[in-house]
Structure 1
Amino acid sequence: MCPMNGASEREIVGDRIKVWFRFVPREGWFPQDTEGLWATRLSADTARVDNVPFLQDGVAQGDVVRFRTDDDGLHWATGRISTSGNCAVRVVPIPSGPLGRSPEKVHERLSDFRLGGEVFSAEFPMVAFDVPSGTDFAALKRLLVRGQDEGWWHFEVGSGTEAFWSA
């Protein structure tokens, strides 16, 4: 979630913290240059990511990251120290396509894979999917490409593993 979308930047719930990532905004994309992801604190400077990133590349749900805490109490990611084997895939339905602007229809098309995911917003119905390591990556990639070719959606892989790319 982006700082503008609600939860307090320093919010801590139990052993869960928000770890912030900085990145260079992409042209023609969202203007944000940070994204906060919920994480479970594992040590004074490490945490396991608990949700799927909408904007940050190179990290997936379940990955362990190192962070530093600034003077304001914000936890800033400094790098990934281990991977979960999960991938992060983002799908944006094409409004003029057969799914319209419906994130529910995106979920329905991908339901055979039993993927967890989150919707960015009603205004921009991007779905960020957590793709577990045991998923049939080849079949998923075929469906994602087919959907893009047939005008259902655009998609991108925010974090892919070697197993994903080689499938």
Structure 2
Amino acid sequence: MSVPGAGASVAAEVRRIKVWFRFVPREGWLPHDREGLWAVPVGADTARIENVPFLQDGVARGDIVRFTTDADGVHWAVGQVAPSGGCTIRVLPVPDGPLGRSAAAVHERMAEFGLGGEAFSEEFPLVAFDVPADADLRSVKAMPVRGQDAGWWYFEEGCVTEAWRAA
């Protein structure tokens, strides 16, 4: 029995690669110095980022990056080729705040905007959100500020555009 579209999703899965980014760990933050992001090759040494970065600043889902491949076959990002126009924001619930350590509660508060996002782990419930270029940036931007002011969470702007800054 053939499942319509199944071949396409398998083919897309096979084409994904992991592109690694190196950075200096921030004091008081997670001790990592690299992050691997799933990407789809769009050229011999370029790929489109397919997930939201938790740690790497200046990158958003959909950005096209250039990479080099080392002798072990690991793809290392070396620069951005084309931004997607999207933004990355990160939200970390205040452990003793009204949402507790719940990534699900963060998602619930942000649900009205229909943003894609994922949680880092249960132990460290950091939620990274993908804010597409066509989102209502003024409303989206207001919610993390409101939540931080209310003591629900801390948030940071991992990658923002001029349109985000102007909103």
Q: What TM-score does the superposition give when structure 2 sets the normalisation length? A: 0.91
CA–CA distance in structure 1, aligned partners of residues 69 and 51 of structure 2:
20
**Residue 34 (structure 1) aligns with:** 34
1:45 CA displacement: 0.2
1:119 CA displacement: 0.5
| Structure 2 gap segments, 5+ residues each | 1-12
SS at match of 2:88: strand
Q: Indicate the percent of aligned positions where both proteins have the same amino acid.
A: 64
Q: What TM-score does the superposition give when structure 1 sets the normalisation length? A: 0.91
1:140 CA displacement: 1.5
**Residue 85 (structure 2) aligns with:** 85
**Residue 21 (structure 1) aligns with:** 21
1:107 aligns with 2:97: no
CA–CA distance in structure 1, aligned partners of residues 71 and 166 of structure 2:
43
- How many pairs align? 155
**Residue 65 (structure 1) aligns with:** 65
The aligned amino acid for 2:116 is G
CA–CA distance in structure 1, aligned partners of residues 104 and 31 of structure 2:
26
| Structure 1 gap segments, 5+ residues each | 1-12
**Residue 6 (structure 1) aligns with:** none
The aligned amino acid for 1:139 is S
CA–CA distance in structure 1, aligned partners of residues 155 and 97 of structure 2:
14
1:137 CA displacement: 1.1
Superimposed CA distance per residue, residues 111-146 of structure 1 (whole angstroms, 9 cap, x where no aligned partner): 110000011000000000000111111112211111
SS at match of 2:20: strand
SS at match of 2:158: strand
CA–CA distance in structure 2, aligned partners of residues 56 and 149 of structure 1:
25
C-alpha RMSD of matched pairs (Å): 0.7
**Residue 129 (structure 1) aligns with:** 129
